[in-house]
Amino acid sequence: MKSMISRESIFNAVLLLALLAAPYIALQMDEPFYVSLATRVAILALAGVGLNIALGFGGMVSFGHAAFFGVGGYVAGILSQHAFNYEPLMTWPFTIEGTNQMLVIWPVALVVCALLALAIGSIALRTSGVYFIMITLAFAQMIYYFAISWPAYGGEDGLSIYVRNTFPSLNTMNPMSFFLICYAVLIVCLVLSMLIRDSRFGAALQVARQNEVRLASTGIAPFRIRLVAFVISAAITGLAGALYADLNRFVSPSSLSWHMSGEIMVFVILGGVGRLFGPVAGAALFIVFEFYLGGVTEHWQLFLGLVLLCVVLFARGGLIGLIAGRARHG
């Protein structure tokens, strides 16, 4: 048991170092594109880290996390568009200006997504099982159709961010600087999710997943525990969405679609559900697949499907499970 856990830790460390080293090596080899590929991995991993808190730790199978991912992206897009055009976001009852400061955008994205998750969660968490999966999907679809048909911010055409938002004393247009920002955010959120997992709150969440009755008998309401976890999870995914918008300098309703929800789920599963670093491994694997398989055949989605199917059927612990053996959680 002990050796297995340490094998996982070694793998995690290697993974993080590799993700950090990859863009440096790419720069040395004069292949700047791989820097943005690594950035993509870091951001999508972050989205997965968010979902993992609900899905892996809390057993809440949310099929609607694209809602938070997309809304986070729209927060970044909308604020920076207003800053770009020098028009305030609203003037009544008080004036809110747009901004192109990441340090302002991030907290806004976190808060907006948290509030949204509070609203969705307080309805969705009354249900469980398939109903929960489907109601989260329904909420995401609602927001998706709203974004498509609401003309103010581009509708289906999406919203361009003409100049990447800024970060104090860094040039964010430099791919390496932007990668380091995303990487740092990823590390912070990984640490945060580790703290959550090992806290009393995390333990209660674990019990809520495994045995609701037992938790209720200790006087803790499972609903509240779940709701808090759901909100934290959504906020982190929303932050990833804001970074993703900045990476692409663009946000559109497709980041709200149910395919996106499915993909974020795939990152988590591919790496290993409930593993701290599962989403990182999963996102890296997914992006590498998409990129290289896309190079081999036009029908790459078929092979992606086959690989996914094999992972679900035969490698239940995901990538980390394959390498580090069975997880300690159930």
Partner 1 sequence: MDLALLTEQLLNGVQFGVMLFLMAAGLTLVFGVMGLINLAHGSLYMIGAFFCATVAAATGSFWLGLVASLAGAAAAGAIIEIAVVRRLYDRDHLDQVLATFALILIFSEGTRWVFGSFPLYLDIPKVLQGAVALPGGSQYPVYRLAIIIVGLAIAFGLYLLISRTRLGMRIRAGESDREMIAALGVDIRNLYTVVFALGAALAGFAGAMVGALQSVQVGMGEPVLILAFVVIVIGGIGSIKGALIGSILVGVVDTMGRFLLPEFFELFMPPSQANSVGSALASMAIYILMALILALRPQGLFAARA
Partner 2 sequence: MKKLIAASLIGLSMSVASVAVATAEPVKVGMITTLSGGGAGLGVDVRDGFMLAAKLAGNDDLEVIVEDDARKPELAVQLADKMIQADKVDILTGIIWSNLAMAVVPGAVAQDVIYISPNAGPSQLAGAGCNPNYFNAAWQNDNLHEAMGAYANTAGYAKSFILAPNYPAGKDALTGYKRFYEGDVADEVYTKLGQTDYAAEIAQIRASDADSVYFFLPGGMGIAFMKQYAQSGVDKPVLGPAFSFDQGILGAVGDAALGVKNTSQWSKDIDNPANKQFVEEFQKEYGRLPSLYASQGFDTANLILSAMNKADVKDMDAFRAALKEADFDSVRGDFEFANNNHPIQDIYVREVVKEGDVLTNKIIGMGLENHTDAYAKDCKM
Interface stretch with partner 1, choices 31-39, 67-75, 149-157, 172-180 (CB under 8 A): 149-157
Give the one residue of 146, 195, 198, 203 binding partner 1; rule: CB under 8 A: 146
Strand residues in the chain grouped as ranges (E): 159-160, 250-251
Q: For the CB of residue 142, give the shortest distance to partner 1 in the complex, in Å.
A: 4
Q: How far apart are CA 251 and CA 160, in angstroms?
A: 7
Question: Does the footprint of partner 1 cover residue 135 (CB under 8 A)?
Answer: yes
Q: Which is nearer to partner 2, 6 or 297 (CB)?
A: 297
Question: Does the footprint of partner 2 cover residue 33 (CB under 8 A)?
Answer: yes
Question: Does the footprint of partner 2 cover residue 301 (CB under 8 A)?
Answer: yes
Q: Is 167 helix (H, G, I), strand (E, B) or coil?
A: strand
Question: Would you give the binding string for partner 1 spanning residues 243-272, x where CB under 8 A is met?
Answer: ---------------x---x--xx--x---
Beta-carbon neighbour count of residue 152 at 10 Å? Answer: 7
Query: What is the distance, to the nearest Å, from the Cα of residue 306 to the centroid of all Cα atoms in its chain?
Result: 24
Question: Does the footprint of partner 2 cover residue 298 (CB under 8 A)?
Answer: yes
For the chain, the helix, strand and coil percentages under 3-state DSSP, each to the nearest 5? 75, 5, 20
Interface stretch with partner 2, choices 113-121, 141-149, 310-318, 319-327 (CB under 8 A): 141-149
The DSSP secondary structure of 11-75, one letter per residue, reads: HHHHHHHHHHHHHHHHHHTT-THHHHHHHHHHHHHHHHHHHHIIIIIT----S-THHHHHHHHHH
Strand residues in 185-268 grouped as ranges (E): 250-251
Q: How far apart are CA 190 and CA 187, in angstroms?
A: 5
The interface partner of residue 111, options being partner 1, partner 2, none and the CB cut-off 5 to 8 Å by kind, is none
The interface partner of residue 12, options being partner 2, partner 1, none and the CB cut-off 5 to 8 Å by kind, is none
Question: Does the footprint of partner 1 cover residue 221 (CB under 8 A)?
Answer: no
Q: How far apart are CA 264 and CA 202, in angstroms?
A: 22
Question: Would you give the binding string for partner 1 spanning residues 113-132, x where CB under 8 A is met?
Answer: ----------xx-xxxxxx-
The residues near 321 (Cβ < 8 Å, ≥ 6 apart) are 272, 275, 315, 327
Question: Does the footprint of partner 2 cover residue 72 (CB under 8 A)?
Answer: no
Which residues are near partner 1 by CB under 8 A?
A: 55, 61, 63, 123-124, 126-131, 133-135, 137-139, 141-142, 145-146, 148-151, 258, 262, 265-266, 269, 273, 299-302, 304-306, 308-309, 312-313, 316
Which residues are near partner 2 by CB under 8 A?
A: 31-34, 36-37, 40, 145, 148-149, 151, 154-158, 160, 162, 244, 248-250, 252, 254-255, 290, 294-301
